[in-house]
């Protein structure tokens, strides 16, 4: 029984069973330990998977021993490997970070269940990224969503409950739209396996059922990915949830939904149908630009820094959608790069806010005056994250912005490149607001140097330094993204 061949399924099953173990042992310390071990295992597994994928292009693992269209198969190519790296990387850092932050923010009797729900969200998201079966995506989407509703509602403010309820209603409608889309495709082709569907769809592609299926799937996944008109749930959900939850969700949840969008657009429907025949690339570009500008502008007017970052997430998702809308090879590379880098940026910023919330129990801008002096390390990391968000050269943000702008210029869409620069200036404004409050306003007297738990600082600084590392040596992130794009564009892996 060598471990290597069973990695694709173990990376999903280990977190699921450890969530059950957490409830079985029902003790806070062991729950955190189990979460940490499961996250390390997933990180180790995702690194091995990347190496295997670079040699053998695609890993196919049929669960239950039944061949592909009959049983469910797990299919991992470069795109999945990239997503798995992002997911398990941020999961490890979040679980290191979680110990002290959970003790401070979550009531004692809920802490064991908090770790269980966190593990379930992670397993659900990994399950989505690993499976090659359309209906299985729906099942794992529901696993992660139900645990996310519970986690968001644990915020100390009563508005967290209302935000979680609105997310539940929107999320369930989205999931049901996805179910309708899968049903329509199943009726016309008779199969649920993504690979099998991509071969059988071109025959039936011009029927109205497949166009309706495409529309419903896109709207359903759009709600989960907070595409522009469907993003109302995101600001409240991220702003009022506990800091550990908003860190993990901001870094991974919407990215996985965008992965599902890419998987459906490219490997299921094929590029010419989804992006060109249906005028979807234009729609994506329009939604992307409106998202970028709208998100950045409304981020400026927020008084709660967490809500500000939530709106900036909407803007960053606008970048990714714009990159996908280009429907060109550099465009997809820029999109995948930005998925990778955005996880790093948002992880740093939200973790820094978590530390501030740990100390001041609130993330209002008015609370953070003079923090540069009282919490120097945290604000330094926040500064690195902010610069990376703006896209200052030498940080990860710059790499993805650079590739995006070059992709836009290749497609000779220079007005959109201008929009990107304007958006960077807008980002500079709202990050500048926070920096100005933190460094240039006097700290209220009586607030001395604050001692902050070491484990949280270590996790924060690993995120911040990785921001810089992937800014300077982008061979890993670029290598995997371009490999993934070649496979997708080649479309017949």
Partner 1 sequence: MNEILGHFNYGIVILLMMMGLYIVIASSNLIKKLIGISVFQVSVFILYITFGKITGGNPPIIVDNVDVYSNPLPHVLILTAIVVGVATTSVGLALIVRIREAYGSTDEDDINDIDKNDNFYLKNRSTT
Partner 2 sequence: MIANLELVIDICLLAFLIMIVFASIKITDLFAVTMLFGIFSFVSALLFLDLDAVDVAFTEAAVGAGFTTVLMLSALRLTTRFENVKHRHSLLGLPIVILTGAALLYGVADFPNMGDANAPIHHHLAPDFIRLTQQKIDIPNIVTAVLASFRGYDTFGETVVIFSAGAAVLMLLGMGHVERKQEPEKNLILWVVVKPMIALILIFGLYVQFHGDFGAGGGFQAGVIFASGFILYSLVFGETYARKVIPATILPRLSALGVLIYGVTGLMSLISNKPFLDYNALSSNPVGGQHLGILLVEAGVGLAVFSTILLIYYSFSGREVIHYE
Binding site for partner 2 (CB under 8 A): 1-2, 5-6, 9-10, 13, 16-17, 19-21, 23-24, 26, 61-66, 69-72, 109-110, 113-114, 116-117, 120, 123, 127, 131, 133, 135-136, 139-140, 142-143, 146-147, 149-150, 153-154, 180, 184, 186-191, 200, 207-209, 211-213, 215-216
Minimum distance from residue 52 beta carbon to partner 1 (Å)? 30
**Binding residue (CB under 8 A) for partner 1 from 80, 95, 164, 388:** 164
Give the number of residues in contact with partner 1, rule: CB under 8 A.
32
Q: What is the nearest approach in angstroms of partner 1 to the Cβ of residue 180?
A: 6
Among 104, 142, 286, 486, binds partner 1 (CB under 8 A): 142
Looking at the DSSP bridge assignments, the partners of residue 113 are: none
Task: Give the other-Cβ count within 10 Å of 347's Cβ.
Answer: 29
Sole window of 102-110, 157-165, 335-343, 414-422 interacting with partner 1 (rule: CB under 8 A): 157-165
Phi-psi region of 395 (alpha: psi -120 to 50; beta: other; left: phi over 0): beta
The answer to whether residues 233 and 310 touch, using CB atoms and an 8 Å cutoff, is no
CB under 5 to 8 A by kind: which of partner 2, partner 1, none does 297 bind? none
CA gap 2, 50 in Å, rounded: 18
**What is the per-residue binding string for partner 1 in 436-475, x denoting contact by CB under 8 A?**
--------x-------------------------------
In whole angstroms, the minimum distance from the beta carbon of 465 to partner 1 comes to 32
Length of the chain: 493
Q: How far is the CB of 69 from partner 1 (least distance, A)?
A: 11
472 C-beta neighbours (distance < 10 Å), count = 12
Q: Out of partner 2, partner 1, none, which partner does residue 333 contact, by CB within 5 to 8 A per kind?
A: none
- 103 or 142: whose CB is closer to partner 1? 142
Nearest by Cα to 122 from 100, 106, 104, 144: 144
Provide the b/e sequence for 279-316 (b: ≥16 CB within 10 Å): ebbeebbebbbebbbbbbebbeebebbbbbbbbbbbbb
Question: Which segments of 20-136 are extended strands (E)?
Answer: 59-62, 73-76
Question: Shortest approach of partner 1 to residue 186 CB, angstroms?
Answer: 7
Whether residue 82 contacts residue 340, with contact meaning beta carbons closer than 8 Å, is answered with: yes
Exactly one of 206, 303, 414, 432 binds partner 1 (CB under 8 A); which one?
A: 303
* Binding segment toward partner 1, per CB under 8 A, in 35-43, 145-153, 226-234, 322-330: 145-153
Q: How far is the CB of 394 from partner 1 (least distance, A)?
A: 35
Task: Give me the residue label for tokens 């714009």.
Answer: 322
CB 121 within 8 A of CB 167: no
Smallest separation (angstroms) from partner 1 to the CB of 202: 22
Residues 352-381 that bind partner 1 (CB under 8 A): 364, 366-367, 369
User: Is the Cβ of residue 287 or residue 344 nearer to partner 2 in the bound state?
Assistant: 287
**Interacting residue with partner 1 among 61, 165, 402, 461 (CB under 8 A):** 165
C-beta neighbour count of 198 within 10 angstroms: 17
Dist. CA 28–CA 22, nearest whole Å: 9
Backbone angles phi, psi at 226, to 5 degrees: 55, 45
**CA 129/CA 233 separation, integer angstroms:** 23
The nearest distance, CB 76 to partner 2, in angstroms, is 14
Q: Kindly identify the residues of this chain, within the stretch 183-202, that bind partner 1 according to CB under 8 A.
A: 183, 186-187, 192
In angstroms, rounded to a whole number, what is the distance separating the alpha carbons of residues 94 and 463? 10
Q: Compute the chain's Rg from CA coordinates.
A: 21
């Amino acid at each position: 029984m060598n471990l290597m061949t069973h990695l694709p399924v173990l990376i999903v099953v280990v977190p699921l069973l450890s969530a059950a173990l957490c409830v079985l042992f029902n003790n806070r310390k062991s729950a955190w330990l189990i979460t940490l071990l499961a996250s390390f295992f997933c990180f180790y597994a995702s690194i091995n998977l990347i190496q295997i994928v670079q040699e053998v292009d695609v890993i196919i693992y049929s669960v239950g021993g039944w061949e592909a269209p009959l049983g469910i198969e797990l299919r991992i190519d470069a795109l999945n490997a990239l997503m798995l790296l992002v997911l398990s990387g941020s999961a490890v850092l979040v679980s290191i970070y979680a110990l002290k932050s959970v003790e401070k923010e979550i009531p004692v009797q809920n802490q064991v269940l908090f770790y269980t729900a966190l593990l379930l969200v992670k397993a659900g998201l990994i399950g989505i990224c690993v499976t090659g079966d359309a209906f299985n995506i729906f099942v794992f989407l529901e696993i992660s969503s139900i645990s996310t509703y519970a986690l968001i509602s644990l915020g100390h403010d009563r508005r967290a409950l209302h935000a979680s309820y609105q997310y539940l209603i929107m999320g369930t409608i989205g999931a049901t739209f996805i179910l309708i889309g899968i049903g329509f495709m199943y009726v016309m082709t008779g199969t649920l396996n993504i690979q099998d569907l991509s071969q059988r769809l071109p025959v039936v592609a011009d029927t109205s059922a497949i166009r309706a299926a495409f529309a419903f799937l896109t709207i359903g996944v759009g709600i989960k990915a907070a595409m522009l008109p469907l993003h109302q749930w995101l600001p409240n959900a991220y702003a009022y949830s506990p800091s550990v939850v908003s860190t993990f969700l901001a870094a991974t949840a919407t990215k996985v939904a965008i992965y599902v969008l890419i998987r459906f657009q490219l490997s299921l429907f094929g590029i010419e149908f989804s992006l060109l025949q249906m005028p979807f690339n234009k729609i994506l570009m329009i939604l992307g630009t409106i998202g970028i500008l709208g998100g950045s502008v409304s981020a400026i007017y927020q008084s709660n820094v967490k809500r500000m970052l939530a709106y900036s997430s909407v803007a960053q998702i606008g970048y990714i959608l714009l990159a996908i809308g280009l429907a060109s090879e550099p465009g997809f590379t820029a999109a995948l790069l930005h998925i990778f880098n955005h996880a790093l940026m948002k992880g740093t910023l939200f973790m820094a806010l978590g530390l501030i919330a740990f100390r001041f129990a609130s993330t209002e801008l008015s609370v953070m005056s003079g923090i540069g002096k009282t919490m120097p390390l945290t604000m330094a990391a926040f500064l690195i994250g902010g610069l990376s968000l703006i896209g200052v050269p030498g940080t990860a943000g710059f790499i993805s912005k650079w590739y995006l702008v070059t992709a836009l210029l290749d497609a000779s869409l220079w007005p959109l490149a201008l929009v990107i620069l304007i958006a960077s200036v807008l980002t500079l404004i709202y990050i500048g607001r926070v920096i100005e409050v933190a460094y240039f306003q006097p700290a209220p007297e009586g607030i001395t140097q604050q001692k902050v738990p070491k484990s949280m600082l270590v996790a924060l600084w690993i995120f911040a330094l990785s921001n810089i590392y992937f800014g300077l040596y982008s061979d890993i992130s670029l290598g995997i993204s371009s490999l993934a794009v070649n496979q997708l564009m080649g479309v017949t892996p």
